[in-house]
Amino acid sequence: MQEKGTISIHTENIFPIIKKFLYSDNEIFLRELVSNAVDATQKIKRLSSLGQYQGELGNLQVEVSFDEEKKTITISDKGIGMTADEIKKYINQIAFSGATEFVEKFKEAKDANELIGKFGLGFYSAFMVADKVEINSLSYQEGAAPARWICDGSTEFEITDGSRTERGTDITLYVNAESEEFLSKFKLQEILEKYCKFLPVPIKFGTKTESEPDGEDEEGKPKYTSVEVDNIINNPSPIWTKAPSELKDEDYLEFYKELYPFGEDPLFWIHLNVDYPFNLTGVLYFPKVKNDFDFQRNKIKLFSRQVFITDEVKDIVPEFLMLLHGVIDSPDIPLNVSRSFLQADSNVKKINNYITKKVADKLSELYKKDRKAYEEKWQDIGLFVKYGFVSDEKFYEKAKDFTLLTNTKNEHFTLEEYKEKVKPLQTDKNDTVVYLYTPDAAKQDAFIQSANKKDYDVLLMNSPIDNHFISHLEQKLEKTTLKRVDSDVVDKLIVKDDAPAHVLTEEQTTKVKTIFESTISKPNMKVEIESLSPEELPVHITQDEFMRRMKDMAQMGGGMSFYGSLPDNYKVAVNGNHPLISRIVSATDEQEQQKLAKQAFDLALLSQGLLTGSDLTDFVKRSVELI
């Protein structure tokens, strides 16, 4: 048998499209060809189970091999194989998929959908790396003759008698000069482990040496001998293909280690399993998240029927869950995904919503089932929850019931509980509830203590997302505002009608202001004389809440870059009711006045961590003199 011909019109322009647009990365060729081999293998298994094939199945594995000298890569399977006519139909006439006929023939089989092969377009990805491709195949059909097809990447092909004696197919790629990097054991192993690690049929790639027990030596210690065994690179039955009822916690933890060998154990996980209105399986793990907001993206892997597609899952998984780890498998997402496809596809949107709901339900369940255990995990999961709270309205609707606020005493409250706790004392004269917070309890201890003296509570807001979370809380909570505890003196943070009276006269107030302004002499420090409790510090340095918040958001890339370029401005609040200020007013020596004012100002700077360099050295010297 010998036949030459032209591949059907459908493929006239297929090669430039494949090389340029269809696949983003040329290593995909191996994924496509191995996937096709797996499809062919699953089909013969299915035919055998349906009684449509009576022969021996034998060792059903796919083998990948290469020959560096001949510059070839071969993918071999023991699947259904093809006759010369089938090669012409399925390979040459690309518009017809072998799977379509297969599914029609066996559509009464419940899981025929799983067997839809992509034998066709995916096959042509071979020409991304090969000058010439050869198929050697022998069909499972009784009396079939082996067939060989060869093509050099043009639309011309040749079919002759094949040499294969066993059922199945060999596809040999004659690798082109630009793609010789693929003629390497390490490169091929790396690609196979990336894309084929969980394919449902064993994939053999060469052999490996293992140690086997071999009796005992003279001292009774176990002896081992080295043996060569098949190097099977995949786990054909990963846990997401099993029912949750079949699995124990150890199975989930073991699989996590398989995915992330160097990771800490996860906190908990969610097993996804839905078949309507789309198909989706998978396991999502909640890892321990450090507070440096390292997003560790590309940790969720997307599969389609156990074939790895991508770890760029931004449009499938909600943005706030990009911190999760794990696996999603959906046959409703095609192998050749592109960003524009994902953004437009209705299944992807449904999957996104489903995952959001599942995560919210799991967190709600954990919170209701064991509040104490949930609180203990809050430091690790709070970042997820707050991020979702801010960025996803559907998630917020559920999360508002299990989002926790933590105060400086490490007590946890739901949003409702916290409002009830602080409302009686922290409502200002305009009937607005004021939540006080600190991003750094150690650094702002003086301000926290001032608040605590008035029995005010202070929240700890020290995660990287908290600037956005605070703004979002203010939008969602009625008549509530949040103020950083060092953004003003305590009496100005929550303004009441019972502010302390001024002990200074108007003239003395002006005098004190002049002394401090001349002593400080910094344009970014605005001096104001306040009427505070005599027990408060003589001087406070604060930064306006709005400006500081805008600058923090600019640092986080929150679209506030204009504010990020502005200089830091501070308010110097001088407590006119403090005994030290009366002492400054009554001092007759101008140098003495300035020395005391400078000391009080430097103490305020010190409490905010703003006293550095020579100013700090001068302060220490002056403190020694004053002692």
Q: For residue range 165-181, list pLDDT tens digits in order.
A: 999 999 999 999 989 99
Q: How far apart are CA 196 and CA 231, in angstroms?
A: 13
Residues in the chain, overall count: 627
pLDDT number for residue 625:
82
pLDDT number for residue 210:
87
Residues 6+ apart with CB under 8 A from 342: 315, 316, 333, 348
In the predicted model, is pLDDT for residue 1 greater than 70?
A: no
Q: 216 versus 434: which is more confidently predicted?
A: 434
**Pairing relationship of beta strands 156-161 and 2-6 according to DSSP bridges:** antiparallel
> In the predicted model, what is the mean pLDDT of residues 502-528?
87
pLDDT number for residue 204:
96
In the predicted model, is pLDDT for residue 2 greater than 50?
A: yes
**Pairing relationship of beta strands 300-304 and 307-310 according to DSSP bridges:** antiparallel
> In the predicted model, what is the mean pLDDT of residues 414-432?
93
Residues 6+ apart with CB under 8 A from 376: none
pLDDT number for residue 565:
64
pLDDT number for residue 562:
58
In the predicted model, is pLDDT for residue 314 greater than 70?
A: yes
- The amino acid that residue 330 corresponds to is S
Of the candidates 188, 215, 214, the one whose C-alpha atom is nearest the C-alpha of residue 203 is: 188
Give the pLDDT confidence of 403-414 residue by residue, as tens digits.
999 999 999 999
Q: How far apart are CA 75 and CA 593, in angstroms?
A: 89
Reported as type and span, the H/E element at residue 479 is none
pLDDT number for residue 534:
84
Reported as type and span, the H/E element at residue 11 is none
Q: 189 versus 501: which is more confidently predicted?
A: 189
Give the pLDDT confidence of 31-71 residue by residue, as tens digits.
889 988 999 999 999 999 998 999 899 999 999 999 999 99
What string of DSSP letters covers 555-618? HTTSS-HHHHTSPP-EEEEEETTSHHHHHHHH---HHHHHHHHHHHHHHHHHHTT---HHHHHH
Q: Let me know: does 342 contact 315? Beta carbons within 8 Å.
A: yes
pLDDT number for residue 141:
93
Confidence of residue 301 (pLDDT cuts 50, 70, 90): confident
> In the predicted model, what is the mean pLDDT of residues 184-189?
95
Reported as type and span, the H/E element at residue 132 is strand 130-138
Reported as type and span, the H/E element at residue 188 is helix 185-195
Confidence of residue 288 (pLDDT cuts 50, 70, 90): confident
In the predicted model, is pLDDT for residue 130 greater than 70?
A: yes
Query: Is 346 exposed, middle or buried, given 0-12, 13-18 or 19+ CB atoms closer than 10 A?
Result: exposed
Mean pLDDT of the chain: 83
Is the omega angle on the peptide bond into residue 261 within 30 degrees of 0, that is, cis? no
pLDDT number for residue 10:
46
Of the candidates 315, 303, 187, 288, the one whose C-alpha atom is nearest the C-alpha of residue 241 is: 303
In the predicted model, is pLDDT for residue 532 greater than 90?
A: no
Structure tokens at 217: 């030596």
In the predicted model, is pLDDT for residue 349 greater than 80?
A: no
Q: How far apart are CA 240 and CA 280, in angstroms?
A: 10
Of the candidates 248, 252, 257, the one whose C-alpha atom is nearest the C-alpha of residue 240 is: 252
Q: How far apart are CA 626 and CA 479, in angstroms?
A: 48
Q: 93 versus 489: which is more confidently predicted?
A: 489
pLDDT number for residue 16:
55
Of the candidates 533, 514, 506, the one whose C-alpha atom is nearest the C-alpha of residue 584 is: 514
Three-class SS of residue 181?
Answer: helix
Confidence of residue 300 (pLDDT cuts 50, 70, 90): confident
Q: How far apart are CA 437 and CA 440, in angstroms?
A: 9
Q: How far apart are CA 299 and CA 418, in angstroms?
A: 35
> In the predicted model, what is the mean pLDDT of residues 199-213?
91
pLDDT number for residue 76:
97
First to last CA, the chain: 109
Q: 9 versus 588: which is more confidently predicted?
A: 588
> In the predicted model, what is the mean pLDDT of residues 585-592?
85
Alpha helices in 392-505 (DSSP H): 393-399, 415-422, 445-453, 466-476, 490-493
Structure tokens at 153: 């990447």
- The amino acid that residue 28 corresponds to is I
Q: Which of 194-208, 297-311, 455-469 has the lowest mean pLDDT?
A: 297-311
Backbone φ and ψ of 119, nearest 5°: -70, 105
In the predicted model, is pLDDT for residue 558 greater than 60?
A: no
Three-class SS of residue 376?
Answer: helix
Structure tokens at 332: 């409703």
Of the candidates 429, 435, 431, 535, the one whose C-alpha atom is nearest the C-alpha of residue 487 is: 435
Q: How far apart are CA 528 and CA 539, in angstroms?
A: 10
* Region of residue 58 (phi > 0: left; psi between -120 and 50: alpha; otherwise: beta): left
Q: 247 versus 319: which is more confidently predicted?
A: 247
Q: How far apart are CA 537 and CA 574, in angstroms?
A: 9
Structure tokens at 277: 């209105």
Q: 113 versus 6: which is more confidently predicted?
A: 6
pLDDT number for residue 501:
77
pLDDT number for residue 320:
79
What string of DSSP letters covers 489-514? -HHHHS--S-PPPP-S-HHHHHHHHH
How many angstroms from the chain centroid is the CA of residue 246? 28
In the predicted model, is pLDDT for residue 118 greater than 60?
A: no
Q: Let me know: does 605 contact 611? Beta carbons within 8 Å.
A: yes
Q: Report the C-alpha dihedral over residues 5, 11, 16, 18, rounded to 10 degrees.
A: -120
In the predicted model, is pLDDT for residue 119 greater than 90?
A: no
Q: Let me know: does 73 contact 66? Beta carbons within 8 Å.
A: yes
Backbone φ and ψ of 99, nearest 5°: -65, -35
> In the predicted model, what is the mean pLDDT of residues 281-299?
70
pLDDT number for residue 91:
78
pLDDT number for residue 343:
55
In the predicted model, is pLDDT for residue 513 greater than 70?
A: yes
> In the predicted model, what is the mean pLDDT of residues 518-533?
86
CA distances from 615 to 411, 512, 622, 625 (A): 38, 22, 10, 15
346-369 helix and 371-391 helix, angle to the nearest 10 degrees: 150
> In the predicted model, what is the mean pLDDT of residues 290-303?
64
Find which of 75-84, 125-134, 502-511 is predicted with most confidence, using mean pLDDT: 75-84
Query: Is 256 exposed, middle or buried, given 0-12, 13-18 or 19+ CB atoms closer than 10 A?
Result: buried
Give the pLDDT confidence of 479-505 residue by residue, as tens digits.
999 999 988 888 888 888 776 777 888
How many angstroms from the chain centroid is the CA of residue 115? 31
What string of DSSP letters covers 247-287? --HHHHHHHHHHH-TTPPPPSEEEEEEE-SSS-EEEEEEE-
Residues 6+ apart with CB under 8 A from 108: none
Three-class SS of residue 104?
Answer: helix
In the predicted model, is pLDDT for residue 567 greater than 60?
A: yes
Structure tokens at 569: 């401005």
In the predicted model, is pLDDT for residue 111 greater than 50?
A: no
Three-class SS of residue 626?
Answer: helix
pLDDT number for residue 94:
52
Q: Let me know: does 117 contact 127? Beta carbons within 8 Å.
A: no
Structure tokens at 157: 């092909």
